Amino acid sequence: MSLFASIDPLFSLSGFAVGALVGMTGVGGGSLMTPLLILLFGIHPATAVGTDLLYASATKTVGTAVHGVSRTVDWRVVSRLALGSIPMTALTLFALSYFGTETTAVNALITSVLAVALFATAFVLIFRRRIIEYYADQLNGITPRQTFRMTVAMGMFLGVVVSISSVGAGAIGVTALILLYPKLPMARIVGSDIAHAVPLTLIAGVGHWMLGLTNLGLLGSLLVGSIPGIILGSYIAPRIPDAALRYILAGTLLVVGGRLVF
């Protein structure tokens, strides 16, 4: 099936809603889209993850281009994260292929990792300031070599979690970079996180596609709605209090994560 052969208005509307939230908060793409596809539309968990990964790579490529033009991407940070994430993404995809994506155990693993990632993202959104204040003192004075190693380790963690659940490269990644690079401007941290998400989600998405775990018709419908949604959300964002957005999104993630578990 070609990418835009059959556009489903309901999927496009869902893409618009999620795109608007991403535009307003910078977080929530995989955190909302994957569980939405599973719970509301009954999409197979592995297919939902694979389709969302390609969806994320497409949308974040546009975001990277914008940040690149604005020079708000630190390619040194991106390369360090990718040094850890890309090998672990390949290893995770190999493991999914080896154990079989249609098995009950693999489906349970995907759902469990997705639920944990949603809870973790919600926790970070609510307590980000306290987390940063608590760990800032402990990480103060770490050597450049330690920063390098911890950045690569974070990339490895994201490679595994994102490849399995499509969640984690937003709030969790940004918070980790704030702690590891406290002198880096927030715009460059966000830009670097988005830029790193492109190869991560692209490689993971292509891997899922090779395993037969994507729906290109669904992907096209989502993109048709998400692009105007992101534009509108980005326009509205300055007019809505950041704290209100974070708490609304965090509450949504907790409810969705609970539905996946129970």
Ordered by start, the domain boundaries in the chain are 9-261
Give the Cα separation of 219 and 37 in Å (integer).
Answer: 11
pLDDT of residue 199: 92
Number of H-type helices and E-type strands within the chain: 10, 0
Three-state secondary structure string covering 140-156: CCCCHHHHHHHHHHHHH
| Average pLDDT estimate for 11-40 | 78
Give the Cα separation of 196 and 61 in Å (integer).
Answer: 10
Give the Cα separation of 42 and 105 in Å (integer).
Answer: 18
Q: Is the pLDDT of residue 27 over 70?
A: no
Give the Cα separation of 106 and 128 in Å (integer).
Answer: 31
Sign of CA dihedral 186, 191, 196, 198: positive
Q: Tell me the chain's radius of gyration from C-alpha atoms.
A: 17
> Which residues fall within 8 angstroms of residue 68, CB to CB, at 6 or more apart?
191, 195
Token pair for 152: 């690569």
- The single residue listed with the structure tokens 């949603």 is 118
Distance of CA 220 to the CA centre of its chain: 19
Name the band, by pLDDT with cuts 50, 70 and 90, for residue 242: low
Q: Which comes out higher in pLDDT, residue 203 or 213?
A: 203
CA-nearest of 235, 222, 236 to 17 is 222
Q: With pLDDT > 90 as the criterion, what percentage of the chain qualifies?
A: 21
